[in-house]
Amino acid sequence: MSEQAPRTLLFGVGLGPGDPDYMTVRARDIILKADRLVHFCKRGRRGNARVTADAIIAPDTAREIELAFPVTTEVPVEDQGYSGPIAAFYDAAAERLADEMQAGRTIAVLCDGDPFFYGSFMHLWRRLAHRFPTEVVPGVTGMAGAWTRAAAPITWGDDVMTVLPGTLAEGELTRRLVDTDAAVIMKLGRNLPKVRRALQRAGLINRAIYVERATMADQRVERLSEKQDDEAPYFSMILVPGEGRRL
């Protein structure tokens, strides 16, 4: 008789770009059944993934674990003022969740977009997946929600698409933009002026589309060349659609 597979204890659950209608059936099932619901957030605020889950489950303090980031501003990873506190935060969070799983409780970490695409969950996964049975539930990425709501097909024919973090140095951003057919630029925040200059230097400013909070109630879509300010909240990105082969 074969041994029964161990029960999954850790779930990384992708909830999609924000509109709960883009949540998968698998994600909904896990959220309804898990012993603990975990979400990342800023201090004093509910995380966006937890707000998305409100569509199917009411707040329940007995089930929920809030992981509040000590630092939220996007800065270069080599900056010890960011990487040091954040690494310690993930270490402590992982041990907190490990205690729950060692007690036999299932954990569902709620994730914006897809858990394995620039996701905070990946840092917990790296610390815990080798210790506990784990399942990652894919989700619709924020960029897919953005180009769909912007009515901007991102790649045509043989277009090559590059995903860039706005935290890169301006020269590196420019080089990579020149070398690609289509691009998605994420992690804007205070990097938006630098990203705007890189797009101008690459000759792409007139193709660039700014999308904020894609699929959410307060969504904003506009040409970057027409955006008058340099404000860019967390859920924002820039699309540069390709211009490849049309049939």
Q: Check residue 216 and give its pLDDT.
A: 95
Please indicate whether residue 72 or residue 99 has the higher confidence score (pLDDT): 99
How far apart are alpha carbons 150 and 148 in whole angstroms?
A: 5
Q: Token pair of 175, please?
A: 């080089």
Q: Report which of 198, 211, 201 is spatially closest to residue 241, judged by C-alpha positions.
A: 211
C-alpha dist (Å) from residue 10 to 16, 75, 161: 19, 29, 32
pLDDT > 70 in the chain, percent: 94
Tell me the three state secondary structure of residue 211.
strand
How far apart are alpha carbons 71 and 56 in whole angstroms?
A: 30
Tell me the three state secondary structure of residue 119.
coil
Query: Please, which residues have CB within 8 angstroms of residue 146's CB and are 6 or more apart in sequence?
Result: 17, 184, 211, 214, 237, 239
Q: Check residue 78 and give its pLDDT.
A: 57
DSSP one-letter string for 10-39 = EEEEE-BSS-GGG--HHHHHHHHH-SEEEE
Q: Check residue 234 and give its pLDDT.
A: 87
pLDDT at 71 over 80: no
DSSP one-letter string for 63-96 = TEEEEE-S--S---TT-HHHHHHHHHHHHHHHHH
How far apart are alpha carbons 36 and 6 in whole angstroms?
A: 18
How far apart are alpha carbons 141 and 15 in whole angstroms?
A: 9
pLDDT in tens, 190-244: 999 999 999 999 999 999 999 999 999 999 999 999 999 999 998 999 999 999 9
In order of their start, the domains of the chain are 10-140 (3.40.1010.10), 143-240 (3.30.950.10)
Query: Please, which residues have CB within 8 angstroms of residue 197's CB and are 6 or more apart in sequence?
Result: 170
* Bridge partners for 236 per DSSP: 212
In the chain, the amino acid numbered 133 is P
Beta strand spans in the chain (E): 10-14, 36-41, 64-68, 107-111, 134-137, 161-165, 182-186, 209-212, 220-223, 236-240
pLDDT band (50, 70, 90) for residue 100: very high
pLDDT at 86 over 50: yes
pLDDT in tens, 14-63: 999 999 999 999 999 999 999 999 999 998 888 999 999 999 999 888 99
User: Pseudo-torsion of CA 230, 236, 237, 238, nearest 10°?
Assistant: -50
